[in-house]
Structure 1
Amino acid sequence: MKKLLYIAGSIFLTASVLTSCERDISQLNVDPKHPEVVPSKNLVVTSERYLADYWVTPSVNLNISRFFTQQWTETQYIDETNYNFITRNQPQNHFNTMYRDVLGPLKTASQFLSSEAESATLSTGDQAKTKANKQAIIEILSIYAWVNLVDSFGNVPYSEALQNEAGSTVLQPKYDDAATIYNDLTARLNAVLLTIDPTVDGYDNDAFYNGNMSNWIKVVNSLKLRMGLNLSDVDPAKAKTLVESAVAAGVITDPADDFAFPYVDGLVSNPIFQNLVQSGRNDFIPSDVYLNAMKAKSDPRIPKYFTPLADGTFVGGPYGNLASYANFSHVTDTIKEPDYPGYLLESVEVKFMLAEAAAKGFTVGDSAENLYNEAVNASMNQWGVDPADAAVYLAANPYNAANWKQSIGNQAWFAMNNKGLQAWYFFRRLDYPQLTAPAGATGLVYRITYSNNEYSTNGTNVTAAATAIGGDKYTTKVFWDKF
C-alpha cells in the first residue's frame, strides 16, 4: 500500500518537474508529496486497517474495552482499570480514529471511485456491477464505523459530519439523536444489500475478503443481527424484523467467513503483538475476576487463554490494583503472534447472538438451548479444546432457560476472550456477568465519554448532546441499553 502511495506521489512529482520548464506558475501550488487524487482502493484498504486496529488494539491510549468487562487488568499503571478516560484521552483518540482515519477516507474513496475506470477486460455490464460492489464495500465499512460510534458514545455528529467540501464546510457539526442515527443506519444496510451482485468481485485488494461479495453480504446480515439484538429492549418489533431477516438471508456461522483482518509479520502486524511483545512492556495480565470465574467452572479453555505459574496454578491479578507481572498468569503466546487475526465479527460471537435471539423469542432456526450448546462448542473448538472435555464442561454448565441471560451472558463473556468490544456488547445487553466497580471508579462502563477536545472546539453542540443523553458520564447508558 505504501508503495502504491509512493508511486502516486511520484507521478505528481514527475508532472510537476516536466511542467516547470513552461511558464505555468500555478504548479507552484501543487504539493508533490500529497497528491489530490489517489486510487480509491488505497483509501479503502487503509481505512480497513485503521478500523481493525482500533477494534483489536489493547493500547491504553486508544481501546481499553478489555477492562470494561474486567477480562484483563494492569500491573504498574491502573488509571485505565479504574475507568479514567481523562489522563490518556481515549475518547478523543477513538473519535479521531473513526472520523478522521476511517470515515473521512472512505467518503473520499467513494468520490474518487465514481470517476475511476474499471478493467477493460470486463463486459460493460460487469464493469457496472464491479463498481457497485466496490461502492457497497465502502458503504458497509462506513456503516460499521458509524454503528461503533453510536454504540460507544450515544449521540454523535452524523448528518452534519464530514462536511468539508468547498462551500459546504461545517466546522461545528451538531450531534444527532442516537436512535435516529440507528434507524438511518439500518435503512442503509437494507439498501446496500440491494446493490450487491455476488457474481462479480469488488476491490481485489480488499483486506478482509479480496472483494468476495458473498462474504460481505454475510457481514451486513451479521451486523444487522447485532444491531437488532441491541434494539430488542427498546423497539422489539424493529428488532424482530432485523434479526429474523438477517438470519434468513445468511449470517457468519463458519470460521472461514469471519470478518477478521489478516495481519502479517512486519509493518502490518497485529496490535496485540506490537503492544505486548514488540514494545517490551509487561503491562497486562488476566484479572482475578475473569480467571476466578473460569476456574469456578473448571473451564478447559483456561490453559489455552493463560499461562500457569511454576507450581501449575493459574492466578489472575487483582482487578484495578497494582500487581507484579511476575507473580501472576499471563496471556498465552497464541494471541501475541504478529499474524494473529483481528476479529471484528466472527462465527463464535454470531452463534452466541443466535442463542440470545432465540431466548428472546425470535425465529432463528433452532432452540435457544441447542444454539447455546453450539456456541459453547464453537468456542471450545476455536481454542483447540478436546471435544470430550468440551462435552464434560457443557454437561456441568447446561443452558438454564429460567435464567437464560445469566447462562448466555456468562458463557459469552468466557468465549469472548481478548475480544473486549464484543464482550462489552453482551454485558450491556444481558447484564451478565455481574461485575463490581473497582474502588477508583464511580461505577461500571456503559458508554465512552465525549472528548475534551470536543468541549473546546464544538462546545455548544457537545454540551447539548450530553444533556440529551442524561449526562456525559461513562455510567450513562446508550439509548438501547434500557435495563
Structure 2
Amino acid sequence: MLTRYLKYSCYLLLSCLAIAGCKKLEDINHDPTKPTTTQPQYLLTGAEKSAMDILYAGPQNGRIGMPYAQYWTGNDKANDSRYLLDEGINGGLWDNLYSVSLHNLDQIIQMNRATPIANSKNQIAIAQILKAWIIQFLSDAYGNVPYTQAFKLNENNLRPAYDDAKTIYKSLIDTLAMQAAGMDPSLASFDAGDVLYNGNVAAWQKLAYSLILRLGIRMADADPAAAKAAIEANFAKAMTSNADNAQFQYLGIAPNKFPYNESERPLSEFFVTATLVDYMQSVTDPRLGIYARKAADSTYRGLAYGTSETNPNRLPPVNYSYPGKRIYAADMAGILMTYPEVEFILAEAAARGMATGDAATHYQNGVKASMEYWGISNADSIANYLARVPYVAGDWRNVIGSQKWLALYPQGFQGWFERTRLNFQKPGGDSLFRAPLDGSLDPNVSYVPYRLTYLVSEQQQNKASYDAAASAIGGDTKKTKLWWNKQ
C-alpha cells in the first residue's frame, strides 16, 4: 500500500494545498476543489497539519496510542484496549504519514534544491527536521521501515526496502545535528505556512537538538555509548522553557479543529483508566481535573483497563470519568515535543551517569514545567506536590518514568513508547500498569504490545521487502521487542 499511495500522493497533495497557503492558519479558506500553484509554504502547512491530524485522531491516538500507554480504555471501543488492532486504523496511520506528510516534506527539499533561493538552506533544514521526527515515530511504532528508498520512486523501485531501525537512528541523529548546525538565524525560512514556529529559525534549531535527545535516551539501554555521545553533545542547545514547545495550535473552527474534539457532539468512546486516576489520586496530582472529568457522582473514577463491553461488573457509563474537557477542546494543540520532556530526558541521562547536570534538579524542572504547561502555576502547590513525589536516586527509573508518563499525556504514542522502554513501576516498586482485565484478544500479547504489525497490504504489494523486514526484527507480531527495548 505504501508504494501505491506514494505513486498517487501528488493528487493527495493537491487537495491539501487549499488548507496550506496563508500566512496564518486562521487565514486558510481555500476551496479544496480548486488547488493553486504548489509552493513550499503550502507544502509545509500540509505536512504539519496532516501529521498532527493523524497522530491525534480518535482512531489512531484514541484506539492505539492512548490505550497502549494505558491512559484510556474503551467504553464502546473496548477491543482496542484488549489489543485487537484494526487494520484500517493501522493503515491510515502508516499511509498518511508516508503519502502526505513525508511526501510534502520531500517535495520542499526537492523544490529548494532545484531552484535555490536565499532561504533554501533554512527551508530544507526545517523539512529535514520534520522528516526525522516522523521517521523516528514510524521506526518506534513498527521497527524497520522504508527510509532511504521511500521517495526514490521510479520504474525500478516501486517496492522500497525496509531499513534497519538502529541504522535509521544513527542517520537521524546525524541529520538533525547537521541540519541544525547549518541553519542561519540571520536569514528567514518560511514567511508563511509554518504553524509550529512561524518561521523562527532559532526555535527550529532547539527542536532539532531536543529531538536528538529523544533519540538518544530511547536507545540508552541498547547503545549506551552512542546515547551518551548524542545527549552530551547536544543537550545545552535544546529547549530551555515552555516558550520553546513545538506544537500545532488548532483554532477551534472548521476545518482547523483539533482532530478529536467534542465541539459538535459529546464524545463517549473512551474512559480514562483506573490506572491513571488511581495513581494521580494517590499522590493528589493537581493535573487530574485537567486530564479527566468527574463522573455523575462528582468523583473521579477510572474504568479498569481492558474491561470488556459485556463485563457484568461494569457500571453504567455515567459512573466513570471521561477525558477532560481541555483534552477534547476544539482548540487543543497537537504536541510534537515539549520542554518538560526535555527535562525528564536530562534527568534520566544524569541518573545514568551522563554529564547533563543534576538529576534531581532536572526532574523537579520537568514536573514544574508540566504543571505550568497545564496552567498550574501556584508555587506552593507545585512544591507540595514535589514533596509527595520526591526524586530518589536509587529508584530513578520508577520515579522519572512515572512522572514522565504523566507529563506526556495526551501524547498516547510517546507515552506508550516510554512505558515499554523504561518498564517502570510506581515509585517504590509497586505495580502501576495491569494486563487487560478481560484478557487480550491478541494471542501473542498478554500484557502490552511492543510494536504495531506491518500493514496487510505491504505483505501483498511489497512482499519481498516485508518478508525481509519481518525476519530481521524477529517476527511481525506485537510481542516483538524493538531493537532499543532491552527491559
Q: State the TM-score, normalizing by the size of structure 1.
A: 0.86
- Residue 59 of structure 1 is matched in structure 2 by 59
Instruction: State yes or no: 1:210 paired with 2:179.
Output: no
Instruction: State yes or no: 1:138 paired with 2:138.
Output: no
Give the match's secondary structure for 2:58: coil
Moved more, 294-303 or 450-459: 294-303
One-letter amino acid of the counterpart of residue 317, structure 2 = Y
Give the match's secondary structure for 1:89: helix
345 and 193 in structure 1: CA distance in 2 versus 1, 3 angstrom threshold: same
Instruction: State yes or no: 1:457 paired with 2:461.
Output: yes
- Residue 273 of structure 2 is matched in structure 1 by 287
- Residue 39 of structure 2 is matched in structure 1 by 39
Distance 1:405 1:131 in 2: 43
Distance 1:196 1:160 in 2: 26
Give the match's secondary structure for 1:342: strand
8 Å CA contact 2:63–2:80 kept in 1: the answer is: no
Deviation track 1:277-328 (CA, whole Å, cap 9, x = no partner) reads 4354410111111111111222222123222234432101122123643221
Distance 2:382 2:180 in 1: 37
- Residue 309 of structure 1 is matched in structure 2 by 295
Query: Structure 2 residue aligned with 1:147, among 136, 142, 145?
Result: 136
Instruction: State yes or no: 1:325 paired with 2:317.
Output: yes
Moved more, 75-84 or 380-389: 380-389
371 and 142 in structure 1: CA distance in 2 versus 1, 3 angstrom threshold: same
8 Å CA contact 2:18–2:34 kept in 1: the answer is: no
8 Å CA contact 1:63–1:94 kept in 2: the answer is: no
Deviation of 1:432 (Å)? 1.6
Deviation of 1:474 (Å)? 1.3
8 Å CA contact 2:305–2:435 kept in 1: the answer is: no
One-letter amino acid of the counterpart of residue 387, structure 2 = A
One-letter amino acid of the counterpart of residue 390, structure 1 = I
Residues 25-424 of structure 1: pairs in structure 2 closer than 5 A = 38-60=38-60, 64-85=64-85, 87-116=86-115, 118=117, 127=118, 130-165=119-154, 168-205=155-192, 206-248=194-236, 250-266=237-253, 267-273=255-261, 276-321=262-307, 322=309, 324-364=316-356, 366-385=357-376, 386-424=378-416
Distance 1:133 1:63 in 2: 37
Identity of aligned residues (%): 32
Distance 2:257 2:320 in 1: 27
216 and 63 in structure 1: CA distance in 2 versus 1, 3 angstrom threshold: farther
Larger Rg: 1
Deviation of 1:264 (Å)? 0.8
8 Å CA contact 1:157–1:176 kept in 2: the answer is: yes
473 and 376 in structure 1: CA distance in 2 versus 1, 3 angstrom threshold: same
8 Å CA contact 2:20–2:45 kept in 1: the answer is: no
8 Å CA contact 2:296–2:318 kept in 1: the answer is: no
Distance 1:415 1:302 in 2: 11
Distance 2:35 2:235 in 1: 44
Deviation of 1:387 (Å)? 2.6
Deviation of 1:423 (Å)? 1.4
Number of equivalent positions: 440
8 Å CA contact 2:295–2:321 kept in 1: the answer is: yes
- Residue 482 of structure 1 is matched in structure 2 by 486
104 and 278 in structure 1: CA distance in 2 versus 1, 3 angstrom threshold: same
149 and 237 in structure 1: CA distance in 2 versus 1, 3 angstrom threshold: same
Distance 1:2 1:401 in 2: 52
8 Å CA contact 2:21–2:41 kept in 1: the answer is: no
Deviation track 1:372-426 (CA, whole Å, cap 9, x = no partner) reads 1121122222223333222222112211111110001111122222121221232
Give the match's secondary structure for 2:78: coil
Give the match's secondary structure for 2:285: coil
311 and 143 in structure 1: CA distance in 2 versus 1, 3 angstrom threshold: same
61 and 312 in structure 1: CA distance in 2 versus 1, 3 angstrom threshold: closer
One-letter amino acid of the counterpart of residue 69, structure 1 = A
Distance 1:236 1:5 in 2: 43
393 and 281 in structure 1: CA distance in 2 versus 1, 3 angstrom threshold: closer
- Residue 11 of structure 2 is matched in structure 1 by none
Deviation of 1:455 (Å)? 0.8
One-letter amino acid of the counterpart of residue 134, structure 1 = Q
Distance 1:429 1:4 in 2: 36
One-letter amino acid of the counterpart of residue 121, structure 2 = A
Deviation of 1:214 (Å)? 0.1
Q: Return 5+ residue gaps in structure 1 as ranges.
A: 7-31, 119-126
- Residue 24 of structure 1 is matched in structure 2 by none
Distance 1:157 1:4 in 2: 27
Deviation track 1:438-478 (CA, whole Å, cap 9, x = no partner) reads 11242302111111111111122212211111111112111
Distance 2:205 2:302 in 1: 40
One-letter amino acid of the counterpart of residue 336, structure 2 = L
Distance 2:19 2:381 in 1: 49
Deviation of 1:34 (Å)? 7.0
Distance 1:49 1:468 in 2: 33
Distance 1:351 1:198 in 2: 25
Distance 2:208 2:21 in 1: 30
RMSD: 2.2
Distance 1:61 1:302 in 2: 20
8 Å CA contact 1:202–1:210 kept in 2: the answer is: no
394 and 5 in structure 1: CA distance in 2 versus 1, 3 angstrom threshold: closer
262 and 195 in structure 1: CA distance in 2 versus 1, 3 angstrom threshold: same
8 Å CA contact 1:57–1:63 kept in 2: the answer is: no
Deviation of 1:352 (Å)? 1.2
Distance 2:304 2:422 in 1: 25
Deviation of 1:261 (Å)? 0.4
8 Å CA contact 1:55–1:63 kept in 2: the answer is: no
Distance 1:229 1:3 in 2: 36
Deviation of 1:51 (Å)? 1.5
332 and 280 in structure 1: CA distance in 2 versus 1, 3 angstrom threshold: closer
Deviation track 1:109-143 (CA, whole Å, cap 9, x = no partner) reads 2222334575xxxxxxxx2xx11111111111111
Distance 1:423 1:356 in 2: 16
8 Å CA contact 2:61–2:412 kept in 1: the answer is: no
Deviation of 1:169 (Å)? 4.4
Deviation track 1:152-179 (CA, whole Å, cap 9, x = no partner) reads 11111122212224xx541111112111
Residues 433-444 of structure 1: pairs in structure 2 closer than 5 A = 433=425, 434-438=432-436, 439-441=439-441, 442-443=445-446, 444=448
Deviation of 1:260 (Å)? 0.3
Give the match's secondary structure for 1:278: coil
